[in-house]
Amino acid sequence: MPVSLDTETLLSRMQDGLEQAASHGRRTLVSATVEVEGLDPCAEAFATRLASDRWFCWEQPDRGFALAGLGSAHEVVSRGERRFSDLADGCLSLVRDRIATGEERLPAAAGPVWTGGFAFADDGGASADWSSFAPASMALPELTLCRSGNRTYLTLNAVADAGQPGRLSALRARVSALGVASLPMLDPARAGRTEIESVRPPDHFEGAVATAVERIRAGQVEKVVLARELRLRAPASHDLAAVFGAMRELFPACYCFCCGTPEAAFVGASPETLVRRSGASASTVALAGSARRSSDPAVDDHIGERLMQSAKDRSEHEIVVRRIVSRLRPLSVWVEPGEGPGVVKIANIQHLATPVHAQLSDPRSAVELAGLLHPTPAIGGEPWPDAGALIDELEGMDRGWYAGPIGWMDAAEDGEFCVGIRSALIRDREAHLYAGNGIVADSDPEAELAETEPKRGAMLPLLSG
C-alpha cells in the first residue's frame, strides 16, 4: 500500500502553532496530528531512527494496536518513592495548555503521547548495564505513529522556545524519511557461536529459594518472587528490528515492546497487563501460576488442567488477585474480579489468569495507577515491602527495568502499562535475559529452577541464533 501523507500541510500546522506559542512567553507544547495510510508504525521506527534517538515501540498484534515514537521533544525523569507522582505531574503540566491541531475524535494513544517506563525498584538500574535507563522516565517523542484497528495516525510534537527554524527542519527530515518499511527476518544461520552463561550458578538460585521457603514458613512473608539473570555474547551486534519482528510473529497476544536509547534497548514480549485506564474505567489481569506447553494438544490440555488443580499455584494466584483488589477498592465505585482463574496459553508457557475491572471514583492517571499497583505480588511478593527486602537479600542482581511498568499515557491521561517480563536488555553484542518465579511455603527449589526455563525460553532462541 502506498504512503498517503500531506507533509506540507502537517508542517505548516506545526509552524503556525510554534508562531502562536512564541507569543505566550512560556514553554508551550505544540502538536499536529494527521491520519496516514500505508505505514507500519514499529517498522518505520526501526528503519528511520537516528543513532542519537530515544525511541519506543509497542505492539499487540492480535488487538490490532501499535505505537511507535522517535526522538524526544521533552522528557520527564525521576527516582525514589515519589517517582510515579513526579512523572504524572510533569507529563500533565506540559500537555495541559498545549496548542494542537487534528485532535478531534482521535482514539487513545493518537495525538501527544508519553512513552517509557520504570525500573522495578525506586532507585533501580544503578549498575553500569542500565546506565542509560533512569529509575523513572517518560518521553514525549518528536514523532509518533499510532495504529488502532485499521486506522493510523501520525503526530509531530515540539516544545516552543528559541530556535523554531531548526526544529521545523528536524521535523521535516523525520517525516521525509518515512516510507513503506518492513521488519527484517531473523537470520537463522548467523555465523559464529553465541556464548551463554548464568550470571550466578543454578545452585545459587536453588539456595535462595530454599532460604525463602524457610522465611515464609516462619511467617516473615507470604510470598516472594526471585529471578535469575542469563548473559549472552553474540558474535555480532543483535539485529533489534529482526528480534522485534520475530516477537510479534511468535507472541501476537503479548505486549511486544522495545524501549531504546542510543546505547541500549530493553525488549520483551510480556503477557502481563499491569493496568489499562480509559476514562473512569481501569482494568488489569492477575497473572500468577505457570506451567510449560506441549506440542501434543491432549498433553497440553492435561498440563493446563493440572495447573488449574494445583493448590500451590492457586494459592500463589489468589495472593495476586487479593492485592490488586485491595489497592483499587479505595479509589473505585466498584471492583470486580473474574470468577476464578482461567488458563491463558502463549507460545511456550501457560498461566493462571484472572481479569479485574474497576470503575474509578477518584480520577487517577494511567501513570498514577501503575504506581498504585506496582509491584504486584506476581513479580514482587506479599506483603510489600517485606518481600522487597528479601529480594534484595537473596537475589543478588540489579533488576533494572526488568519486571517494571512499561507503557504509554496520552494527553487525556488514558494509557496502559504492562509488566516488563519475558524481556532482555541488549547492548550491541551482549544481552541480559531475566526470568523469575513466585515462591510460596510449599515451593521446591529444584522445581522452581526448572520452571524458570520456559520463561527464559521466550527470548533466548531469538538472541542465541
> What is the mean pLDDT of the segment spanning 388-402?
96
Same domain, residue pair 450 and 342 = yes
> Is position 313 within any domain?
yes
Instruction: Quote the number of domains for the chain.
Output: 2
Q: What is the distance between the alpha carbons of residues 117 and 87, in angstroms, rounded to a whole number?
A: 10
1 pLDDT higher than 60: no
- The per-residue pLDDT for 67 is 98
> Is position 187 within any domain?
no
> What is the mean pLDDT of the segment spanning 136-164?
90
Q: Which residue has the higher pLDDT, 458 or 279?
A: 279
- The per-residue pLDDT for 102 is 84
Same domain, residue pair 154 and 214 = no
Same domain, residue pair 409 and 335 = yes
Condensed to tens digits (0 to 9), the pLDDT of residues 183-236 reads 999 876 666 788 999 999 999 999 999 999 999 999 999 999 999 999 999 999
267 pLDDT higher than 90: yes
164 pLDDT higher than 60: no
- The per-residue pLDDT for 384 is 95
Same domain, residue pair 441 and 300 = yes
> Is position 36 within any domain?
yes
447 pLDDT higher than 80: yes
Q: How does residue 33 score in pLDDT terms, banded at 50, 70 and 90? A: very high
> What is the mean pLDDT of the segment spanning 256-281?
97
- The per-residue pLDDT for 163 is 47
Q: How does residue 166 score in pLDDT terms, banded at 50, 70 and 90? A: low
**Residue-wise DSSP of 244-272:** HHHHHHH-TTSEEEEEE-SS-EEEEEE--
- Select from 131, 149, 177 the last residue of a domain: 177
> Is position 252 within any domain?
no
Same domain, residue pair 297 and 328 = yes
Q: What is the DSSP letter of 97?
A: T
> Is position 101 within any domain?
yes
The rounded percent of the chain whose pLDDT value lies above 70 is 97
Query: Known catalytic residues?
Result: 223, 272
> Is position 190 within any domain?
no
**Range of 145's domain?**
7-177
**144-167 exposure pattern, b = at least 16 Cβ within 10 A, e = fewer:** bbbbbeeebbbbbbbbbeeebeeb
pTM: 0.95
> Is position 89 within any domain?
yes
Q: How does residue 14 score in pLDDT terms, banded at 50, 70 and 90? A: very high
- CATH number where 302 lies: 3.60.120.10
Same domain, residue pair 200 and 121 = no
> Is position 259 within any domain?
no
Same domain, residue pair 217 and 300 = yes
3 pLDDT higher than 70: no
Same domain, residue pair 426 and 283 = yes
| Burial environment of residue 85 by CB neighbours within 10 A (0 to 12, 13 to 18, 19 or more) | middle
34 pLDDT higher than 70: yes
Which segment of 22-26, 159-163, 302-306 scores lowest on mean pLDDT? 159-163
The rounded percent of the chain whose pLDDT value lies above 90 is 80
Mean pLDDT in the chain? 92
Same domain, residue pair 229 and 171 = no
> What is the mean pLDDT of the segment spanning 28-51?
95
Q: What is the distance between the alpha carbons of residues 17 and 1, in angstroms, rounded to a whole number?
A: 31
Same domain, residue pair 230 and 145 = no
Same domain, residue pair 316 and 418 = yes
Instruction: Enter the C-alpha cell of residue 122.
Output: 525506586
> What is the mean pLDDT of the segment spanning 117-142?
96
Q: Which residue has the cell 541464533?
A: 465
N-to-C CA span, the chain: 32
Reported in sequence order, the residue ranges of 272-375 that DSSP labels E, i.e. its strands, are: 273-278, 281-292, 332-337, 342-345, 349-360
Q: What is the distance between the alpha carbons of residues 273 and 232, in angstroms, rounded to a whole number?
A: 27
Question: Three-state SS for 395?
Answer: coil
- Select from 177, 203, 222 the last residue of a domain: 177
Q: How does residue 167 score in pLDDT terms, banded at 50, 70 and 90? A: confident
Same domain, residue pair 171 and 212 = no
